[in-house]
Amino acid sequence: MAEKSKIYYTLTDEAPMLATHSFLPILEAFTRSAGIEIEVPDISLAGRILANFPENLKDDQKIPDALAELGELATRSEANIIKLPNISASVPQLEEAIAELQKQGYAVPNYPAEPKTEEEKAINKKYARVLGSAVNPVLREGNSDRRAPKAVKNYAKANPHRMGVWNADSKTSIAHMNSGDFYGTETSITVETDGKFRIVFYGNDGALKVLKDFAPLKAGEVIDSSVMNLSALKSFVHDAIREAKEEDILLSAHLKATMMKISDPIIFGAIVETYFKDVFEKYKDTFAELDVNPNFGLATLNEKIAGHSQEAEIKADIAKTIENGPKLAMVNSDKGITNFHVSSDVIVDASMAALVRGGGKMWNKDGKEEDTVCIIPDRTYAGFYDAIVQDMKKNGAIDPKTFGSVPNVGLMAQKAEEYGSHDKTFQISGEGTVKVEDESGNVLLEQNVQDGDIFRMCQTKDAPIQDWVKLAVNRAKLSDTTAIFWLDKDRSHDSKIIEKVEKYLKDHDLTGLDIRIMDVKDAVTETLKRAREGKDTISVSGNVLRDYLTDMFPILELGTSAKMLSIVPLMNGGGLFETGAGGSAPKHVEQFLQQGYLRWDSLGEFLALQASFEHLAQTQNNKKAQILADALDAANAKFLANDKSPARKVGQIDNRGSHFYLAMYWAEALADQTSDPEISAKFASVAKAMQENEAKINEELIAAQGNPQDVGGYYHPNREKTYAAMRPSSTLNRIVDGI
């Protein structure tokens, strides 16, 4: 048992990584009593960079490729992985991390954004494995089951978070394309036999370029191709700019450049370039000389022009454009950081959920809230947000005290849908046709393209779809809850998925169940109507929509998406337990480095661990793991009831204090249980020591706040410095280390 009982607790980035340095010693001390070993694979951005360039490092600097090892583990039945939020790196973040590692003495190469030599192309290809959502597609060998635990939901109803006021005359709107987007151009087929495909560009000038060489196809999988037309995109953005100016409201962009790491930075760049059209035309030669790329936003533009003879002139023209154009929504009003500064700041699921919760408003340059035109170009998901905005205008903000719950069953196994499209997404140079061909040269999918267009192909395998349908039916049965498949019959891909859902639902006994298939806009309306009546509804959705739903509804219900229980039953019997979203992590790090106060809430980690222990108990017959799980459940309930999550300001409880209280409540629950006298006796003394020293421990933890912190790096901090900063109570450390 001891050899098999392993939990892989991932080391990631930013605030979750800092929190791990406080919580991990507690976790290791408590789990030893159940014969459970905790492994800590490093899948942070810095860790992923170092793992990909061993040939550049000294022997004592080399680290294993933890992500690849975890990916292989995820296909095995013994997998038990706790996945904390990690950085889905944008190019600017990647470059910052590289610079930090180089400064620390790691000779990793610079990132060649536009590789020219063979060596640069090889380096670029390695960094492509690190960029964007590099982690999730590797680990997600199962579909997603995400819900608010009952204790969390009850706490949210009893302690409702603040909601903004929605007015019927709100000017906030969703601006989307009506043609030339991925939705409008999508074609989709179901593959009949196993085989191979390749993607080839045939230029009108006779040129032929293989964009992706032969890769496997499986019988039954759904494949799609679609195109975002660049000129249509820019024309649409021009109209959105005019609308915001006429309405005298903010203009904002909402994309997911971190996950859609090829397409969305290009779309972001087109928005930036269109808004600042006069600036890019006036300084065309200067920008070419400085290698200014609009895809990287205003922040990189400002860095590139720094020290140039025209710097002041360019900055004045940028300011004049903003002054004369529609006002830009701000990411940070105090620092003048606009919504157009960095593509990775523009994360649609986080930004739109915050907007809906806040009454449809974003921040202007003066730190005041205003209505906004939200640019979400592609109709594939813009309709979801549009329907929510329309509902809020019509019915007003929701009431967290009475609002029902919207758990999600999400299709994401084996890189399903668009989030698995990175290696099949290309910006086209030239006019012509892109064809997806089989090994016999038969054309499976075909798109006409123009210079600058974005071509995308996606794959969704059949086995994950069957598993997804089964998971949805099981969840509906277990909780006796209505389940709605969010599938748009007018979208080519969804129409193929609907055929499969209807087929595989017949494999299950649906007696007494309410399972429906609805278009996305109708599903929004029906789900919100039911939730306002206090009814729960399971949303059953595809991969990208899963991501958007599991931020939107938790933020409306709970005020945060970090408190959701996120379980991925892996298809080969293992378990992946995700701990919530990390969108707020950078702000928390900033506060910690400046003030020694970490606001990150680890409740997601606590909830995931409980499910992880239960999984160990069930799959490996580890009865002590079940004792840990039951005691942690009681501790989580007490933690919520006594409101021991981090507060907001220096002098109040922060992340480290919340870990202390969780540990004390967990020890109390273990001491009180009667099924294992040995564990009970061991933790009775631990609980007593913590109770007797509660005031002293709190005093030591609070005393550590208020001063700037140096942990030796943002992306790759120093281990000793970080542990010292995150474990400042010698009294608590003595008790924990003595278990």
Q: Is the distance from CB of 641 to CB of 155 less than 8 angstroms?
A: yes
SS3 33: helix
Burial 467-488 (b: 16+ CB within 10 A, else e): bbbbbbbebbbeeebbbbbbbb
What does the block give as tokens for 471? 């998971």
Looking at residue 699, its amino acid is E
Q: What is the pLDDT of residue 444?
A: 98
Q: Residue 612: CA atoms inside 13 Å, Cβ hemisphere, count? A: 26
d(CA 272, CA 321): 12
- CA geometry: angle at 707 spanning 701 and 709, to 5°? 90
SS3 571: coil
Does the pLDDT value for residue 4 go beyond 80? Answer: no
Average pLDDT on 8-26 reads: 97
430: buried, middle or exposed (CB in 10 Å: 19+, 13-18, 0-12)? middle
Closest CA to 82 of 132, 31, 121, 155: 31
For residue 210, give every residue at least 6 positions away whose Cβ sits within 8 Å of its Cβ, in sequence order, or none: 198, 199, 200
Radius of gyration of the chain (CA): 26
d(CA 489, CA 491): 5
How does pLDDT run across 475-527, given as a tens digit for each residue? Answer: 999 999 999 999 999 999 999 999 999 999 999 999 999 999 999 999 999 99
Does the pLDDT value for residue 178 go beyond 70? Answer: yes
The DSSP code sequence of 134-161 is -SHHHH--B-EEEE--HHHHHHHHHSPP
How does pLDDT run across 569-597, given as a tens digit for each residue? Answer: 998 899 999 987 665 667 899 999 999 99
The DSSP code sequence of 5-47 is -EEEE-B-SHHHHHHHHHHHHHHHHHHGGGT-EEE--B-SHHH
pLDDT band per the 50, 70, 90 thresholds, residue 346: confident
d(CA 379, CA 490): 11
Does the pLDDT value for residue 379 go beyond 90? Answer: yes
How does pLDDT run across 541-551, given as a tens digit for each residue? Answer: 999 999 999 99
Counts of helices then strands in the chain (DSSP H, E): 28, 24
Strands (E), 405-508: 408-410, 425-427, 432-438, 443-449, 454-460, 482-486
SS3 474: helix
Indicate the average pLDDT of the chain. Answer: 95
How does pLDDT run across 42-61, given as a tens digit for each residue? Answer: 999 999 999 999 999 999 99
Q: What is the pLDDT of residue 735?
A: 98
Does the pLDDT value for residue 185 go beyond 70? Answer: yes
β-strand 425-427 against 454-460: which pairing, if any?
A: antiparallel
Average pLDDT on 97-125 reads: 95
User: Count of CB atoms within 10 A of residue 707's CB?
Assistant: 12
d(CA 680, CA 662): 17
Look at the block and give the residue holding tokens 């990132």.
111
Does the pLDDT value for residue 403 go beyond 90? Answer: yes
Q: Describe the strand order of the beta sheet including 454-460 as a list of residue ranges.
A: 187-190, 222-228, 454-460, 425-427
Q: What is the pLDDT of residue 584?
A: 64
Which of 231-240, 323-332, 340-349, 614-623 is predicted most confidently? 231-240
β-strand 443-449 against 432-438: which pairing, if any?
A: antiparallel
Tell me the pTM.
0.85
pLDDT band per the 50, 70, 90 thresholds, residue 2: very low
Does the pLDDT value for residue 133 go beyond 80? Answer: no
pLDDT band per the 50, 70, 90 thresholds, residue 65: very high
Does the pLDDT value for residue 459 go beyond 70? Answer: yes
d(CA 693, CA 587): 32
For residue 284, give every residue at least 6 positions away whose Cβ sits within 8 Å of its Cβ, in sequence order, or none: none
For residue 528, give every residue at least 6 positions away whose Cβ sits within 8 Å of its Cβ, in sequence order, or none: 388, 391, 395, 398
Looking at residue 165, its amino acid is V
Q: What is the pLDDT of residue 352?
A: 96
Looking at residue 479, its amino acid is S
d(CA 529, CA 544): 23
pLDDT band per the 50, 70, 90 thresholds, residue 89: confident
β-strand 6-9 against 37-39: which pairing, if any?
A: parallel
pLDDT band per the 50, 70, 90 thresholds, residue 246: very high
Q: What is the pLDDT of residue 581?
A: 66
Average pLDDT on 411-439 reads: 94
d(CA 256, CA 263): 9
Q: What is the pLDDT of residue 560?
A: 84
φ/ψ (deg, to 5) at 625: -65, -35
Closest CA to 610 of 588, 633, 586: 633
d(CA 59, CA 62): 6
Q: Is the dihedral of CA 537, 486, 541, 91 positive or negative?
A: negative
